[in-house]
Amino acid sequence: MLLKFRYLLLLTFISFTQFAWSQGQGNSPYNTIGIGEITEESVAAQDMMGGTGVSFSNSFYINHINPAMLVKNRTIGLNKYVAFNIGLKGAYKVLNQGNKVQDDFGMNMSNLTMVFPVKPKWAMGISMRPFSMADNISKVKKDFVGSNETNEVEYRNAGGISRVAFTNSFLLYKGLYWGIEGQYNFGNIQRDTTSTISGSSEYFRNSGRYSLKGASAKTGLTYQLKLNKKWNLNIGGVYQIGTALKGEALKVFSVLGEAGNGPVYIQSPDTLSLTNITSQIPSKYKIGVSLESNYHWVFAAEYGYTKWSGNKQFDPTANKILVDAKELNFGMEWLPNASSSKYFNQVFYRLGYKYIDTPYMINNTKIKDQSFSLGLSVPMGFGNPSYIDIALSLGRRGVNTNSLIQENYTKVSVNFSLLSSWFNKPRID
């Protein structure tokens, strides 16, 4: 029955993928820049801990931050555990600019992943997840001089870049883990500028469709040093290799009118241009250290650096705004008693804090982002290795001064981590 439930849950989410993948995480002016806002690689269990995960992991969730951690505890004794991970992320935002206030909510699928052990010291994984997102609508009214008419302009950005990744992870030596991840990135970003004169039924639209694709790679290393019978010191690092995405930019002009059931073309769309474009993915590194008591306590601290400067983007505005970014992450994990027969002793409790010096430099102001997070991972029934992870983050990005926008947000991250003991050879006593 439980196995059937897992299959049903998996199929339900796969059928939901097409809808959820196309959604964003709420209206934001910052994801209109370049290829959109780069998404967080962390899953819900890591979101609870401030986005930490470079130097540690366990078998009950899949670590997307460091490919070296994929192999950890995938084989226990003679049992090989295959893991499925399905994640959703959503955000409720309140945007403030001067005296203007707007709220918005968005949700999308954050990852669809499978990991399986090939050998006791080798695991492989395949995943699909969003790499960047564009999700913004803004409207401006402009008065004509000497006239009572106004020009209403709507700016709409949608789409993003998706990433398919293939990962290999190895236990090279006692306590030494290494992993490498090959990535293929692809997607489209749609930018529409629609204007109309008040009282008119006609719309004038300039559309830009930017299609990009390209390969990239990431590698990671972690070393676990045993301090005593209870505690380990973990040190880890990960490096994302910078690369170029290439594609085309199609720009079209069209005239539309209202027809009762929505806008229709009054004038056939005119192709203004079709050009080749390039946008570069920045290189990034992250290092971290953690103190771990296996399946009981984890205390983690990490630092990350992303080199945006010098990376050419297809968007001229992005070339002026994007600068190098920094990140600090802190997290704590507690499992009451791994060997207990009580259900709530099998629940993971986690806390975290994150500070980001974002890549956005707007009006000579560097945009900052900081948040506090918490959450828990609950087993799907007692003795079941599968977990539901639920994370909540409260944070603030930007400032409500200097004509900028401040975002106060509440983010929710949910992951279904499904584990099954598969591909085990029968034993004869």
Domain residues of the chain, as ranges? 2-421
Given pLDDT bands bounded at 50, 70 and 90, which one contains residue 79? confident
Interval 172-197 mean pLDDT: 94
pLDDT tens per residue, range 202-255: 888 999 999 999 999 999 999 999 999 899 999 999 999 999 999 999 999 999
Q: Provide the 3-class DSSP secondary structure of residue 195.
A: strand
* Band of residue 383 on the pLDDT scale cut at 50, 70, 90: low
pLDDT in tens, 302-359: 999 999 998 999 988 899 999 999 999 999 999 999 888 888 999 999 999 999 999 9
Return the CATH number of 2-421, one of 2.40.160.60, 1.10.1040.10, 3.50.50.60, 3.10.180.10. 2.40.160.60
Q: Is the dihedral of CA 268, 272, 275, 279 positive or negative?
A: negative
- Residues 6 or more apart in contact with residue 135 via CB below 8 angstroms: 23, 24, 25, 26, 27, 28, 31, 36, 106, 157, 158, 160
pLDDT tens digits for 260-278? 777 788 888 898 999 999 9
pLDDT confidence bin for 4, thresholds 50/70/90: very low
- Whole-number Cα distances in Å, 159 to 122, 243, 265: 36, 20, 23
Decide if pLDDT at 400 tops 50. yes
Please choose, from the candidates 282, 279, 281, the residue with its C-alpha nearest in 3D space to the C-alpha of residue 313: 279
